[in-house]
């Protein structure tokens, strides 16, 4: 629906009531990331703890959601249990189109349900249903039961948490439609703190299009550009796991808790091996013809004598790095079985994999023993990692409870900060060098998606601080506009500002179309202001020693360069806010 | 349809190009997950029956038999009774909240939007030798 305001559902779990309200600001913040920050400032409490019932969890879509291909993501914003500050996480599946067809630009959920509950939202429905019997159930079983409880197969989105979220772990994700996630910074725990096991969004409305030949024509053009052989081969063919071999080649793949940056036996977990041996099929987020989701399988013997069961598990570069190279596991089926274990528990695989990599090195160094880890941990031992995922999600003892609060948390307590692979949060799968480390450590989401620092590393060797920081800030600015539309970032090379301008004006958002640059700057500032108002100080971020010890294809990390980059980046972030 | 990745591009194209709507419901083809997302997808669309049960059920002539199978739609005659949707054995007709039925008219416009070539146009030679096109799932 085209409108010059936002239609927002405010739902209070304590009162069991929701209202639809009009929120102004369409032409200032557009939607998605911009709208999320705007709503956070209105409906979250800057000072209170993340788990106070006063806090909200927010979901937003953007002006182009559903109108153009790959406009298929939803933004989730909340006060993070990881650092008690503003956080943003993005997820796909069918969530974005379901919100579009439920005719909602933003959902703000506040309060706390008195029993475990599921919120059901549609264009003509609003219901909070008690589901105490689902509490404690894993993500997959929960999904199965909910699919039978609510109608609308194919045109609904099911967001749910597992035991990790119920146990309030900052590593808990929200699972979306089985194969996608609001992965990082603990959105799952925020749902858990509200006794909210699941949200079902039914996309059951439809809208008339203005009589306008230009829109279908532009759609067709964009569709063609997004399904070129190049796009398809990059994201559809091998998918993001193509990076495993590439990064290994460039000595940029974090291996064994970043003790190494390449592994001569990587072949067992490359994109090619996954495709040849484990790939079952591709799937897509709703509204995306690219279909980057790769689904493999795990097979388990559950009785003697050839009795097997199998499950389908999605994989990508990040999960494969976190449960593969980082843990020294080099068999694609073992990797899938670890991902599967984390998925069931509702753990973010990147954070949990990196946490277990730290625990393994700490165990090998003798800093911790089986008294802490319950089972011995050693690089390459997939079975122990599967068990450890369970301990981590359920907080089986003091050690796992501490670790599930974040790797650095455990590292400080048990002494092992030097080799904790934490850049604001557990590292992403790129050991490309100084610029990426800076961008993840200081970036607003502490994500490899904040800006393309990793590709900058691979392309530049000049150590020009000014140029690198300028690149990070400009790239971030372009990305926040895209994530306000809300586009999948895989489409970032196609959706240039010129094309976005055409897309926005053809469906009727002329004023946004004419002010993309100005609005991008405003959104970038608003997000940083919001993060900083909740207590963030980039100068407090420390990069652990391990990151200074590695060697990439460019040679050893240059400590002076890295330190200058972080200083300059934090200075620029702070001056952005003061402007 | 075993190749379907569940992108909904076909439904969105049909709604956009045939019905001038932004929708994945008001379309001649709709995608559902079969037995939960984890086993794949199935499409709900018209099988081009001849004779068509929906046509036989329609009391007004809003749906009439199309040569080669399926229906010809005359919206102006429709009284929103929903009998057609009840009669269709494969749930190919969607009734929107006002009761208006939406069905595939076998125009083929969705075919080019399927990235996995799940859809194709087939020539069907009708009994009276009129050539008709129909859209089919592979
Ligand atoms: S709409 Fe249903 S009953 Fe009518 S022709 Fe198509 S498949 Fe047959
Ligand atoms: S809803 Fe319309 S097309 Fe369907 S049976 Fe009734 S009159 Fe005929
Ligand atoms: S053939 Fe035409 S009417 Fe049928 S689903 Fe495709 S676009 Fe719609
Ligand atoms: S366009 Fe093709 S792949 Fe996409 S949902 Fe339709 S049939 Fe499936």
> Do A146 and A200 touch, CB atoms closer than 8 A?
yes
Cα-to-centroid distance, A230 and ligand 4 (Å): 20
| Most informative mutation of B83, B87, B100, B105 for ligand 2 (most atoms within 8 A of CB) | B83
Cα-to-centroid distance, A206 and ligand 2 (Å): 20
Answer yes or no: is B1 within a domain. Answer: no
> Residue B70: pLDDT band by 50, 70, 90 thresholds?
very high
The SS3 of residue B72 is strand
Answer yes or no: is B128 within a domain. Answer: no
Answer yes or no: is B136 within a domain. Answer: no
> Residue B39: pLDDT band by 50, 70, 90 thresholds?
low
Answer yes or no: is B55 within a domain. Answer: yes
Residue ranges of B 24-83 with Cβ closer than 8 A to chain A? 24-26, 30-33, 36-38, 40-41
Domains recognised in chain A with CATH numbers: 6-202 (3.60.9.10), 230-425 (1.10.569.10), 426-578 (1.10.599.10)
> Which phi and psi (to 5°) does residue A84 adopt?
60, 30
**Does ligand 2 have an atom closer than 6 angstroms to the CB of B27?**
no
> Do A32 and A75 touch, CB atoms closer than 8 A?
yes
> Residue B134: pLDDT band by 50, 70, 90 thresholds?
very low
The SS3 of residue B75 is helix
Tokens 């449960």 found at: A323
Q: Is the dihedral of CA A402, A405, A410, A413 positive or negative?
A: negative
Which DSSP string corresponds to A135-187?
Answer: TT--HHHHHHHHHHHS--TTSEEEEE--HHHHTT-TTB-EEETTTEEE-STTH
B122 bridge partner residues: B134
Q: What is the ipTM of this complex?
A: 0.90
Cβ pair B24:A211 closer than 8 A? no
What H or E segment, with its residue span, contains residue A418?
A: none
| Neighbour tally for B138: CB within 10 Å | 13
Whole-number average pLDDT of chain A? 95
> Residue B137: pLDDT band by 50, 70, 90 thresholds?
low
Is the pLDDT at B16 greater than 70, yes or no?
A: yes
For the record, the structure tokens of A473 come out as 């800030």
**Does ligand 1 have an atom closer than 6 angstroms to the CB of B125?**
no
Residues 6+ apart with CB under 8 A from A6: A22, A23, A24, A25, A26, A31, A35, A105, A106
- Out of A127-136, A241-250, A292-301, pick the least confident: A292-301
Q: Which long-range contacts (CB under 8 A, 24 or more apart) does A123-127 make?
A: A123/A202, A123/A203, A123/A204, A123/A205, A124/A204, A124/A205, A124/B97, A125/A202, A126/A9, A126/A11, A126/A18
Cα-to-centroid distance, A436 and ligand 3 (Å): 47
- Out of A44-53, B32-41, B103-112, pick the least confident: B32-41
Cα(A472)–Cα(A483) distance, integer angstroms: 16
Q: Which atom of ligand 4 is nearest to the CA of B43?
A: 7
Question: How close is the nearest chain A Cα to the Cα of B129, in Å?
Answer: 34
A101 touching B (Cβ < 8 Å) = yes
Q: Which of B35, B37, B99 to substitute to test the interface with A, most A CBs within 10 Å?
A: B37
Cβ pair A66:B30 closer than 8 A? no
Cβ pair A288:B33 closer than 8 A? no
How does pLDDT run across A383-418, given as a tens digit for each residue?
999 999 999 999 999 999 999 999 999 999 999 999
> Residue B33: pLDDT band by 50, 70, 90 thresholds?
confident
pLDDT value of position B124: 54
How does pLDDT run across A245-297, given as a tens digit for each residue?
999 999 999 999 999 999 999 999 999 999 999 999 999 999 999 999 999 99
Residue (of A36, A182, A20, A33) closest to A95 by Cα position: A182
A100, A206, A311 ranked by CB distance to B21: nearest? A206
Torsion of CA A209, A212, A214, A219, to 10 degrees: 20
A150 touching B (Cβ < 8 Å) = no
The SS3 of residue A363 is helix
Answer yes or no: is B15 within a domain. Answer: yes
Q: Which of A143, A153, A221 to substitute to test the interface with B, most B CBs within 10 Å?
A: A153
**Does ligand 2 have an atom closer than 6 angstroms to the CB of B101?**
yes
Strand A293-303 with A307-315, pairing = antiparallel
Is the pLDDT at B133 greater than 60, yes or no?
A: no
Show residues of chain B in contact with A290, CB under 8 Å: 115
How does pLDDT run across B112-132, given as a tens digit for each residue?
999 998 998 765 544 443 334
Q: Domain containing B76: what range? A: 9-113
Q: Report the CATH number that the domain containing residue B31 is assigned in CATH.
A: 3.30.70.20
Question: Could you write out the three-class secondary structure of A55-100?
Answer: CEEEEECCCCCCCCCCCCCEEEEEECCCCCCEEEEEECCCHHHHHH
Q: Which long-range contacts (CB under 8 A, 24 or more apart) does B96-100 make?
A: B96/A206, B96/B25, B96/B26, B97/A124, B97/A205, B100/B26, B100/B75
- Out of A298-307, A345-354, B10-19, B74-83, pick the least confident: A298-307
pLDDT value of position A40: 98
> Which phi and psi (to 5°) does residue A447 adopt?
-125, 155
Q: Which of A99, A102, A154 to substitute to test the interface with B, most B CBs within 10 Å?
A: A154
Answer yes or no: is B106 within a domain. Answer: yes
Percent with pLDDT over 70 in chain A = 100
How does pLDDT run across A472-520, given as a tens digit for each residue?
999 999 999 999 999 999 999 999 999 999 999 999 999 999 999 999 9
Is the pLDDT at A232 greater than 90, yes or no?
A: no
Answer yes or no: is B134 within a domain. Answer: no
Answer yes or no: is B137 within a domain. Answer: no
Strand A156-160 with A196-202, pairing = antiparallel
Cβ pair A223:B116 closer than 8 A? no
> Do A73 and A488 touch, CB atoms closer than 8 A?
yes
**Domains in chain B, number:** 1
Cα(B6)–Cα(B8) distance, integer angstroms: 6
Is the pLDDT at A67 greater than 80, yes or no?
A: yes
For the record, the structure tokens of B8 come out as 């909904």
Cα(A312)–Cα(A298) distance, integer angstroms: 7
pLDDT value of position B34: 74
pLDDT value of position B1: 77
Cα(A373)–Cα(A3) distance, integer angstroms: 54
B25, B37, B40 ranked by CB distance to A155: nearest? B25
The SS3 of residue A375 is coil
B6 touching A (Cβ < 8 Å) = yes
């Amino acid at each position: 629906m085209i409108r010059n305001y936002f239609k927002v559902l405010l739902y209070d779990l304590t009162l069991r009531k929701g209202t639809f309200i009009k929120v102004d600001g369409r032409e200032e913040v557009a939607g998605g990331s911009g709208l999320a920050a705007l709503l956070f400032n209105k409906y979250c409490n800057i000072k209170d703890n993340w788990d106070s019932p006063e806090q909200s969890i927010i979901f937003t879509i953007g002006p182009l959601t559903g109108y153009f291909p790959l406009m298929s993501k939803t933004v989730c914003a909340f006060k993070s249990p990881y650092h008690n500050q503003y956080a943003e996480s993005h997820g796909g599946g069918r969530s974005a189109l379901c919100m579009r067809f439920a005719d909602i630009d933003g959902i703000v959920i506040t309060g706390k349900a008195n029993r475990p509950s599921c919120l059901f939202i549609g264009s003509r429905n609003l219901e909070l249903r008690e589901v105490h019997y689902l509490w404690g159930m894993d993500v997959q079983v929960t999904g199965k039961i909910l699919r039978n409880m609510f109608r609308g197969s194919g045109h609904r989105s099911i967001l749910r948490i597992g035991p990790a979220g119920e146990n309030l772990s900052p590593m808990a994700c929200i699972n979306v439609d089985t194969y996608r996630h609001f992965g990082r910074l603990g959105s799952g725990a925020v749902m858990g703190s509200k006794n909210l096991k699941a949200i079902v969004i039914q996309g059951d409305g439809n809208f008339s299009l203005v009589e306008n030949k230009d829109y279908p024509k532009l759609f067709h053009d964009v569709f063609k550009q997004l399904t070129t052989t190049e796009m398809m081969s990059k994201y559809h063919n091998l998918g993001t796991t193509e990076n495993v071999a590439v990064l290994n080649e460039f000595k940029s793949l974090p291996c064994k808790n970043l003790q190494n940056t390449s592994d001569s036996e990587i072949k067992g977990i490359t994109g090619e091996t996954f495709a040849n041996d484990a790939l079952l099929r591709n799937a897509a987020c709703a509204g995306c013809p690219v279909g980057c989701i790769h689904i493999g399988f795990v097979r388990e013997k559950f009785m003697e004598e050839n009795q097997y069961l199998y499950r389908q598990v999605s994989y990508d570069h990040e999960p494969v790095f976190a449960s593969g190279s980082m843990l020294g596991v080099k068999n694609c089926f073992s990797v899938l079985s670890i991902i599967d274990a984390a998925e069931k528990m509702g753990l973010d695989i990147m954070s949990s994999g990196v946490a277990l990599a730290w625990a393994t090195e700490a165990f090998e160094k003798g800093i911790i023993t089986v008294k802490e880890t319950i089972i011995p941990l050693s690089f390459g031992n997939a079975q122990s990692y599967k068990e450890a995922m369970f301990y981590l999600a359920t907080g089986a003892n003091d050690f796992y409870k501490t670790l599930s609060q974040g790797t650095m948390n455990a590292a400080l307590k048990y002494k092992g900060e030097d080799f904790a692979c934490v850049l604001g949060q557990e590292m992403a799968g790129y050991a490309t060098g100084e610029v990426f480390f800076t961008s993840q450590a200081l970036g607003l989401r502490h994500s490899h998606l904040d800006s393309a620092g990793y590709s900058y590393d691979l392309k530049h060797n000049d150590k020009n601080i000014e140029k690198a920081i300028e690149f990070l800030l400009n790239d971030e600015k372009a990305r926040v506009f895209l994530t306000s539309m809300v586009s999948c970032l895989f489409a970032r090379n196609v959706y240039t500002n010129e094309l976005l301008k055409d897309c926005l004006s053809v469906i009727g958002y002329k004023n946004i179309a004419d002010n993309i640059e100005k609005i991008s700057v405003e959104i970038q500032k608003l997000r940083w202001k919001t993060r900083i108002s909740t207590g963030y100080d980039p100068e407090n971020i420390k990069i652990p020693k391990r990151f200074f010890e590695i060697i990439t294809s460019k040679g050893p990390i240059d400590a002076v360069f890295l330190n200058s980059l972080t200083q300059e980046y934090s200075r620029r972030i702070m001056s952005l806010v003061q402007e | 349809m075993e190749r379907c990745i569940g992108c909904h591009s076909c439904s969105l194209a049909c709604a956009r190009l045939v019905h001038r709507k932004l929708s994945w419901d008001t379309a001649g083809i709709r995608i559902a997950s079969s037995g939960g997302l984890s086993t794949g997808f199935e499409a709900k669309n018209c099988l081009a029956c001849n004779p068509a049960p929906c046509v036989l059920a329609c009391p007004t002539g809003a749906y009439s038999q199309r040569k080669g199978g399926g229906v010809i739609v005359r919206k102006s005659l429709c009284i929103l009774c929903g009998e057609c949707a009840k009669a269709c054995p494969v749930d190919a007709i969607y009734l929107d909240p006002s009761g208006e039925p939406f069905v595939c008219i076998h125009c083929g416009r969705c075919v080019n939007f399927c990235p996995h070539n799940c859809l194709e146009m087939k020539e069907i030679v009708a009994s009276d030798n009129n050539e008709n096109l129909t859209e089919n799932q592979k």
